[in-house]
A and B are shown apart, each in its own frame.
Chain A
């Protein structure tokens, strides 16, 4: 029995492009308070049913004006601020900043400092990838990896805590080298960690790599081609998973990475699954680098001769490093005074997030969550 007064027409499932209640295209809002956006990312989705037609990111909720603060602090005082950008990879941020200022000052950190820097930075890469794996798997519905990765990440944080007293925003490096000599037993603890951690990577892989749910949720999801990555400026594991063998540690070696033997893992399809595999392989390579560095740790000073009041000569320098998320660059303009005239941070997360639209088009809403996870963004760095 039909109501003759009803204005509703029955839903035509055969031709879904025909408007029904003019609701064919739906605009919905996701975030900024959403557990799967890894912070305060707001995404405006245009949907056709479950299918994503396009999306727009709204960012800036965590904007603290880091670049402006940099212009009002001395070179030394700004150093701890950079830890607060990508706070899960604070050590990498510090390395990039210190090396950039060292370039301006024309000094180089001593060999021992360089080695310790590499050890701590690679430990940080592992910690960052562990946090990524735990939260990414959690987003997709696997809770267990989170407990595994956080259990093991704790060991890295303990090393940091013993070395510099902080676990997250470490401020581990100083311009010109290191502030602290390594503590007694540092080398042994790092080696112990490597022995402890190697089988753990296999454990993570056992949970996920051939897990049918994981594979279904990640294979062919959020694909991006190498050309698109390059055009969008996407770097890091995302670029490598698309098949581009490019890593700044090899392409333009900084610190003393050229002394270490390691490979650049790459993927083929540029999908979420490949990005997962690339990051897993990267953790193994980091273990290799740390092992070489800790076995060849030279004796000697840990600090280059740098003036107490730093006044780099007027000039400008761009320097970038391979952070866990991609190319992290610093562009610093000096006017010869004690404070930078301008500090520009080129954050990998910010630029990589731009690819979200491209990667999500044609996918389902649930895949947007997977893609945000696989991009491995940290909103503290996106918004600065």
Chain B
């Protein structure tokens, strides 16, 4: 049996993966999280170096897919770091023609997505739905990058039954900025947007019922923000409503 993963009954202590010959433990390489203290990490995935990264990594990705086990774990520095590369299609050509530089089409691991300027979001989503047949809104979600000026990525995952194609639309917004609701475009966006509001505090203008969905209505704080600790809770709410000192 290959030497992989221990059974869940004996996980390595958190924050301390066992150092191996090829993967020495790097101090600070893992997050110390068990304390429940506020995390403010200066980490943001390098994701927008696409235009200058050109097509070389794409070939490397393709080659690696063809022979996955060939890459020896002993030489991680040799493997080129995959980066998003631009992609092109008739949709992109058309959208670029209409909206110009506000759209940055990228592909990563064989998946296409476009980074769209915040101001173009309502139009782009409408066009994708009405003209490009992306009639199924799979998911709406967000990612928090506290160290960035534009703190939030908001992501729409769209699918077209007619084209059998999945696409992601991504935009960046600053904290406190709201987005237009896409409920008029896809009815199913209703709960998905409510969840984004609940977890990140991002409001959607024009949403028919913008309130929390998973957490109680009176809860304070938005748990999926990075500055919300994993053991953090709304103590006041817990004490008043559950009649206990702490939920922990």
Residues 133-170 of chain B, each 1 if its beta carbon lies under 8 Å from chain A, else 0: 00111110101100000000001010001001010100
A108 to B67, CA, bound (A): 9
Q: Which of B186-211 contact A (CB under 8 A)?
A: 186-188, 190-192, 195, 199
Residues of A contacting B188 in the complex (Cβ-Cβ under 8 angstroms): 231-234, 351, 354
A128 at the interface (CB under 8 A from B): no
Inter-chain contact A73/B2, CB cutoff 8 Å: no
Chain B interface: which of A7-15, A28-36, A143-151, A342-350?
A342-350
Interface SS, B side: loop
Residues of A contacting B4 in the complex (Cβ-Cβ under 8 angstroms): 174, 176-177, 179, 303, 306, 308
A200 to B47, CA, bound (A): 53
B23 at the interface (CB under 8 A from A): yes
When C-beta atoms are compared, the residue in chain A nearest to B157 turns out to be A318
A181 to B4, CA, bound (A): 13
Residues of B contacting A228 in the complex (Cβ-Cβ under 8 angstroms): 187
Inter-chain contact B213/A338, CB cutoff 8 Å: no
A233 to B43, CA, bound (A): 33
When C-beta atoms are compared, the residue in chain B nearest to A305 turns out to be B69
Smallest CB separation, A181 vs chain B (Å): 6
Residues of B contacting A67 in the complex (Cβ-Cβ under 8 angstroms): 199, 224
Most buried by A among B12, B73, B188, B190: B188
Q: Which of A28-65 contact B (CB under 8 A)?
A: 59-60, 63, 65
Residues of B contacting A305 in the complex (Cβ-Cβ under 8 angstroms): 2, 68-69, 71-73
Residues of A contacting B29 in the complex (Cβ-Cβ under 8 angstroms): 337-338
Instruction: From the candidates B31, B191, B212, name the one contacting A339 in the complex (CB within 8 A).
Output: B31
Chain B interface: which of A209-217, A244-252, A288-296?
A244-252
A64 to B31, CA, bound (A): 21
A103-B109, A231-B186, A327-B138 are contacts. A77–B11 as well, Cβ < 8 Å? yes
Smallest CB separation, A135 vs chain B (Å): 24
A314 at the interface (CB under 8 A from B): yes
Give how many B residues have a beta carbon under 8 Å from the other chain's beta carbons. Answer: 71
Inter-chain contact A307/B23, CB cutoff 8 Å: yes
Instruction: From the candidates A72, A331, A351, name the one contacting B33 in the complex (CB within 8 A).
Output: A72
Residues 76-96 of chain A, each 1 if its beta carbon lies under 8 Å from chain B, else 0: 110110000000000000000
Residues 38-73 of chain B, each 1 if its beta carbon lies under 8 Å from chain A, else 0: 000001111100000000000001001100110111
Give how many A residues have a beta carbon under 8 Å from the other chain's beta carbons. Answer: 75
B residues touching A (Cβ–Cβ < 8 Å)? 1-5, 7-8, 11-12, 14, 17-18, 20, 22-23, 29-31, 33, 43-47, 61, 64-65, 68-69, 71-73, 76, 81-84, 108-109, 111, 135-139, 141, 143-144, 155, 157, 161, 164, 166, 168, 186-188, 190-192, 195, 199, 212-216, 223-224, 228, 230
A residues touching B (Cβ–Cβ < 8 Å)? 59-60, 63, 65, 67-69, 71-74, 76-77, 79-80, 103-104, 106-108, 110, 171, 174-177, 179-181, 228, 230-234, 244, 246, 251-252, 301-309, 311, 313-318, 320, 327, 329, 331, 333-339, 341-342, 344, 346, 350-351, 354, 383-384
A-B contact pairs, 16 of them (CB 8 A): A63-B215, A72-B33, A76-B5, A79-B8, A106-B61, A106-B64, A107-B69, A305-B73, A308-B5, A311-B23, A316-B47, A329-B138, A329-B139, A331-B155, A342-B143, A350-B191
